[in-house]
Amino acid sequence: MSYKFFPNSLLLLLNKLWGWIQFVIYLALFIYFAVSLYSFNPNDSSLFVISSDPISNYFNKYGSYLSSFLIYFFGSFSCLIPIFFLIGCFHKINKSNFEFIFLRLLIYLISIILIEQIFIFYNINLNLFGENYIWGIIGLRLYGLYQNLYFDLLLLALGLIGVFVSLNIFSFFKLKLSFKFFKLKKIKSHSTSKAKKFDPLVSKNFPTDINENIAETDKIMLSKYTKPSLDNLNNEKNKSTDKVDKDLLKDDAKFIEGVFNDFNITIEVINIKVGPVVTLYEVLPAPGIKINSIINLADDISRSMGATSVRIAQVFGTKFIGIEIPNKEREVVTIRELIASSEFKKTGGKIPICIGKDITGNTEVIDLTRTPHLLVAGTTGSGKSVFINSMLTSILYKFSPSELRLILIDPKMLELSVYNDIPHLLTPVVTEPRKSVTALKWVCLEMERRYKVMNEVGSRTLENYNADAKDKMPFIVIVIDEMADLMMTAGKEVEHYVQRLAQMARACGIHLVMATQRPSVDIITGSIKANFPTRISFQVASKYDSRTILGEVGAEQLLGNGDMLMMKNGSSILRYQSAFMSDKEVQKMIKEIKSHQEVQYVEEIGNIINSDSENGINLKLSTEDEELITKSIDLIKSSGRASTSYLQRNFQIGYNKAARIMEVLEERGVVSSPNHSGKREVLINTN
């Protein structure tokens, strides 16, 4: 029978109901077997005794027949048989594996017989049911085949192993071991009666078992994560910049001073710093010289020096002005040297992200937990996608799936699809814009659930919470590779969820990384920009795009291929050269990660996302929307008119919401689908 046409919530409900039915069956069998054996009377009529006296067994003849059968074959050890069903009840409560029930019962019965042999050898009389029923007939026949202590000890060992295997005792130890790994559910170390009041925060349309299934996924991920080897990354280093011609630098400094003199501006070159891509000349202008008069000469300096572009900006924290002139030969910064650096290793348990090298050649590594979110912009060929790869590489070389999980959103369907099936992913790479909205909504719900749990134990940050809890929660990093496609498809919804996450998600360990190749004001809105104090800009098309992403010009003068400007927490803007990472390196690294550990997606997240894509409505309607739909139906009934613009005018709402309401009304049979001219017919009776 195919279940693909059943709603996901119904399947989850049926699965949960079947689990409770199994629990009741095991409990009933335990009571039946235990009471039958407890009330056993050898004089009752049974399989081996014929008597006309009334049966004293509590379950009448059925209990008498069952107890006599068990005691005849297993003796006093038959009292262990009800324990099998009691253990089954505990497994169903803990939702641990207890399949193949008949095979388990057979192994358990054989194990009981094997353990019985050592009792027969030492004549340890349990005498629970009378002297004639101490040993079972099977155990006595088996003992008659041999009489050897060492063989009995071997059978005892095999019997104990059989008991452990049949009862799945190891799963109870496994549950304790799993505390070392993360779960996205509730904290069992703080499971007080008060804490039980908090269920996972879900909307009406989300299955309530989603976080339980995440926890079940984590139980499977008990194999130790092996971090990839650095041998997957290239170690090629361009040594062309190792030797610096100091005399040539001094000549260039004098030439720069001469160029400014031609424009009647007096400056003095104070310091020269050679970096991997550009050389920084720190100059001190004469008194009375305005900084803007120097910055406006950037194009003239570039022409005079024969450089592709020259950037002029104040050196942060000093009285100098920096003139950045491209080197004739660029140094290649590799991701391997950044990951192997001490700066990357000393970040501890935070989220280190390899940025690259600054103008002086020093390695720069930022902590994403302090950022706490990242906004990246850059045109095609500027190095933005390579930076995303190096950022993900930093994460994969630092964290196991139990410490950090990823949600990757790639509307372009090219850049991030290579990361599919790595164990860090919560769900496969999301490529459809509509599904991306649902993924962001799920993250918002997970954020609120985490805050409820953290509030219950009195923790203000995820770090403090994980320090005390046995059951630690992982970081979650959401990477959106192309924001423009999402904003064009569902701008208001995306902006709403992104804004909520950017404002609230830091303390509970959820961080956003957004990238776009079109940093215009309709993509990077004011509310989004205000909540991303740390921004990175690679080369952009115009100074207007530079102002949008950084708040000032300069990004349009970058050299491309990883040359970038970064604003840290809304303060200074510094220039870096990001690391280069080839596609071959990415593929080798991912191949090794996949070989070490299989992916364990949280299927419910994927099911919710796919379900949302199919019906297009369930996860987008709030209580206010439902009220609006009711009003819309009344309006259509009274007027006999149905159109998106008509709803906009009457309820003063935007186009997206009005169009969404019309789609709901179409599915509910209130209006028809639009015809060739875009008009809809009213399908309900009008007044």
The per-residue pLDDT for 425 is: 92
- The distance from CA 461 to its chain's CA centroid, rounded to whole angstroms, is 18
pLDDT digits (tens, 9 = 90+) for 109-153: 888 878 877 777 777 767 677 666 667 777 777 776 776 666 777
| Rounded mean pLDDT, 7-24 | 72
> Which tokens in the block code for residue 638?
């009274």
Higher local confidence (pLDDT), 137 or 423: 423
**pLDDT score at 77:** 79
Rounded to the nearest integer, the mean pLDDT of the chain is 80
Residue 120, token pair as written in the block? 């027969």
Choose among 475, 253, 221: nearest CA to 367: 475
**Ordered strands of the 535-537 beta sheet:** 363-367, 352-358, 573-577, 563-567, 535-537, 374-377, 510-516, 475-480, 404-409
8-state DSSP, 569: T
pLDDT at 548 over 80: yes
CA atoms within 13 A on the CB side of 638: 7
**Average pLDDT, integer, range 301-322:** 87
How far apart are alpha carbons 296 and 109 in whole angstroms? 90
- pLDDT band, residue 510 (cuts 50/70/90): very high
What band does 210 get if pLDDT is binned at 50, 70 and 90?
very low
pLDDT for the residue numbered 48: 76
Q: Which residue has the tokens 């160029």?
A: 259
pLDDT at 197: 36
Sequence-ordered list of residues with C-beta below 8 angstroms from that of 474, at least 6 positions apart, any chain: 182, 184, 401, 402, 403, 404, 405, 509
- For 318-341, what is each residue's pLDDT tens digit? 889 999 999 888 888 999 999 988
Residues 605-623, mean pLDDT to the nearest whole number: 56
Q: Is the pLDDT of residue 638 over 90?
A: no
**pLDDT (average), residues 26-48:** 85
Q: How confident is the model at residue 11 (pLDDT cuts 50, 70, 90)?
A: low
More confident residue, 193 or 425: 425
Query: Alpha helices, DSSP H only, in 147-209?
Result: 149-167, 170-177
Query: pLDDT tens digit string along 39-51?
Result: 888 778 877 777 7
pLDDT at 240 exceeding the cut of 70:
no
350: left (phi over 0), alpha (psi -120 to 50) or beta: beta
Residue 66 near residue 41, CB atoms below 8 Å? no
Whether omega for the bond prior to residue 352 falls within 30 degrees of 0, making it cis, is no
Number of other residues whose CB lies within 10 A of the CB of residue 372: 21
pLDDT at 518 over 90: no
Would you say the C-alpha torsion 519, 520, 526, 527 has a positive or negative sign? negative
Other C-beta atoms within 10 Å of 303: how many?
A: 11
Q: Give residue 399's Cα distance to chain centre.
A: 12
- pTM as predicted: 0.60
Nearest Cα residue to 609 out of 593, 594, 599, 620: 620
The confidence score (pLDDT) of residue 375 equals 94
Domains, in order of start, for the chain:
8-180 (no CATH), 246-326 (3.30.980.40), 372-574 (3.40.50.300), 621-667 (1.10.10.10)
Whole-number percent of the chain with pLDDT over 90: 20
Tell me: pLDDT of 224 over 70: no
60 pLDDT higher than 90: no
Q: How far apart are CA 105 and CA 194, in angstroms?
A: 39
Q: Which residue has the tokens 């309401």?
A: 661
Q: Are strands 374-377 and 278-285 parallel, antiparallel or unpaired?
A: unpaired
Lowest-pLDDT range of 209-223, 405-419, 573-587: 209-223
